[in-house]
Structure 1
Amino acid sequence: MNADAHPLVVRARELAADLLLPEAERVDQEGVPAGHVEAVKRSGLLGVVAPVEYGGSGAPAAVLRETAEILSGACCSTWFVQTQHHTPVQTLARSGLPVRERLLGPLARGELLSGVAYAHLRSFPRVPVRARRRHGGWRFEGTVPWYTGWGLNDVMLLAGVTDADEALFAFAEARDQPGLTASPPVRLAALTAARTVSLELDGLWLPDDAVALRTPHARWAAGDRARTLNATPAVFGVAEAALSLLDEATAGPLRARLADVRRRAYALADDPAPHERAAERLAVRAEAYQVLGTATTAAVVAGGGRAMALTSRAQRLAREALFLLVQGQTAESRTAHLAALSGA
């Protein structure tokens, strides 16, 4: 089936048109409401790539990308909250540990929404969060700098580094509890609505049966590197939303550029050797950002003075584009992007 005709893509379009886009400017200023999360849960989109036998759709990657473009283009904050969910689902689908049977079904069916707390693993050998063996489980100490969806997520996939330099991932309830305290929501230039906090871990204890993955950090980092080499679908979703605000004479050439870089980015993403062609992947990623920046800048220029109002869609999209520049960024992708910007 063509991704455009997949039932979940159709559902994503309906959700975007009926709820997300009409409310996007208000949500940007007031925060993602629980009603948006409930609508996403009911839609089936949280199980897009989850195994069918656990209540998911088992759809191909192209469907996940298409739905991500639609949701991010309509309301990037809502997209960002729900996109965290797919990593826990995929982690559980590959896990052979007991937590799979407890949580994969509820996550795949959209009964629970999961967040993630693992980006700090990218700072290794610095270890912001340490996980140590204690009393039939694991004790977590340290600080999670960024956690999105606080107050909206039911559970989180939390990562720490063991004394043996393993990356250990375990599920916890996403709430204040002994050993876990959330900061007030962080005020950001964009996507404050996604309810991002930092988490202080002061002896949070999780039992062995909460563990979903335990692997050498180097092995995890290799897989993470492969994912962060590629452009995220949200870049294309937000860019297309910006182009929709322009007249065709202006939008046409930019839309052609966007379609070309999108085609090349997704061809690389589908390459069966995800660790190869790193330089090409990073170059295409940087090119996608350049088109995004041009598209959102054009939308602001076309909007004139009105684009400076916080109620302006063009201005919101421009700020969301700035956020996407650093979302999922690594030292490697940062270096490649800066080189592209400087013409090196």
Structure 2
Amino acid sequence: MSELLQQTESYLKQKISPDANQIDGCSKLLQKAFNGLGALGVLGLRIPHRWGGPQLDAETCFQFQELIARYSGALAFLQTQHQSVAAMLIQSYNTQLQAEYLPRMSQGNAKIGVGFSHLRRLGNPSIIAIPVRGGYQLNGFVPWVTGWGIFEEFVVAATLPDNQSVWGLVPFSEQKIGESAIKLSSPMSLCAMTSTNTVTATFTQWFLPEEKVVSIHPVGWMQENDQTKVLQASFLALGCARAGLEIVETAFKKTEFSFIQDAFNSLNQELNQCRSQIFAAQNHPQTINTSEKYQLRAWAIELAVRCAQAAVTVSSGAANLNSHSAQRIYREALVFTVSGQTTELMKATLEKIKNCKVL
């Protein structure tokens, strides 16, 4: 394990694990946890050295995501949004934005979220961008934006008249300038990770200046990108599964019931196999096709749910308490089941569930 991962795990064990259940429901505690990662300089893992980042390799980044999810799903989900913005900026043609934001992102001095999941939806676009002099005018609705009160800005994606998409930085706060406005909803009442403060955003004649544009992508880019990166969110599910198994292992040490040990050994062996295959697929993508990638992602999802259910089972009635760790992990498994979901992933997940035969 790299020194950075060791430092991160030490922070997670000392500062996050004892308060993980409280962090799940309190945005101030989540913000404090996020700022702690910033103090370690790990909020922009891929950012090159020339912009003050650690410039880590892909495998270490995936291990990091798995590690965070093992200790707090809310923190893992939140920081993933910020890390994805850094990745967008690294690939951006806008050198001015790169110079302005990338040196401040690893330490969390610039905190940025995302709002683009709506591009995966079928039918008419929910938010459109009309080219105007000096930039674009945004009108429409963004159904999911995570991190209100924590992030200062977010990258919004809007559909252009030719069906390409423009991605740009906008304020993550209510705005009203004449007829132009950004209106945010109250945080949604979610079953898990409520502290992430997920809201909707409505844009009315909002001007996105050209200098705030991160990228413009061709028709179908989102779908192609989802296929290319289908396995990346698997590491969050793997971390969630590990968290569930740790509760099972603790229960065995407490009770010494052999059937709990048997369950742990079986699930732990399967988790190690799943993890090994996913890392191999990421390290050697040419050896596996897209369909097989979806199957591996579905395996990680379904396994996280089973490990979480095992944690609930060994915790007995106490697991029905909102304050119990098994309850939190079970809810996190739900979130990781549908995070970044596409039609292909939904199909693969259902196939995996369907093939779990009843004796």
Does TM, scored on the shorter chain, surpass 0.5? Answer: yes
Contact kept? 2:116, 2:156, Cα under 8 Å: yes
Query: Where in structure 1 are there 5+ consecutive unaligned residues?
Result: none
Aligned equivalent of 1:48: 45
In structure 1, what is the Cα distance between the partners aligned to 2:231 and 2:68?
Answer: 22
287, 292, 299: which one aligns with 1:287? 299
Which structure has the larger Rg? 2
Q: Deviations over 1:173-219 (max 9, x none)?
A: 22111321110000111111211111111122111000010121323
Indicate the percent of aligned positions where both proteins have the same amino acid: 25
- Residues 250, 336 of structure 1: CA spacing in aligned structure 2 closer, same or farther, 3 A cutoff? closer
Aligned to 2:85: 88
Structure 2: how far apart are the matches of 1:342 and 1:294? 14
Question: Structure 1 residues 35, 139: closer, same or farther in 2, change over 3 A?
Answer: same
Corresponding residue of 1:115: 113
Counterpart-to-counterpart distance in 1, 2:332 and 2:99: 37
Q: What value does the CA root-mean-square deviation take over the aligned residues?
A: 1.7
Q: Deviations over 1:248-296 (max 9, x none)?
A: 443122111001011111221223449x611111111111122212111
Q: Distance in 2 between matches of 1:156 and 1:231?
A: 20
1:1-344 counterparts in 2 under 5 A?
4=1, 6-31=2-27, 33=29, 34-97=31-94, 98-178=96-176, 179-228=181-230, 231-246=233-248, 247=252, 248-273=261-286, 277-343=289-355
Out of 265-274 and 46-55, give the one that drifted further.
265-274
CA shift for structure 1 position 30 = 2.7
Is the partner of 1:187 in helix, strand or coil? coil
CA separation of 1:302/1:272 partners in 2, compared to 1, >3 Å: closer, same or farther? closer
The aligned length equals 339
Look up the SS of the partner of 2:247 in the other structure: coil
Runs of at least 5 residues in structure 2 that lack an aligned partner in the other structure: 253-260
- In the TM superposition, what whole-angstrom CA distance separates every residue of 1:203-242 from its partner, at most 9, and x where no partner exists? 2211100001012132343122221355521111111111
Compared with structure 1, are the counterparts of its residues 16 and 325 closer, same or farther at alpha carbon in structure 2 (3 Å cutoff)?
Answer: same
Preserved CA contact (<8 Å) 1:231 1:265: no
TM superposition score normalised by structure 1: 0.94
Contact 1:139 1:203 survives alignment (8 Å) = yes
Q: Secondary structure at the match of 2:229?
A: helix
Amino acid of the structure 1 residue aligned with 2:208: L
Indicate if the aligned counterparts of 1:74 and 1:241 stay in contact, CA closer than 8 A.
Answer: yes
Secondary structure of the residue aligned to 1:84 is: helix
Partners of 1:230 and 1:265 within 8 A in 2: no
CA contact 1:228–1:329 (8 Å) conserved in 2: no
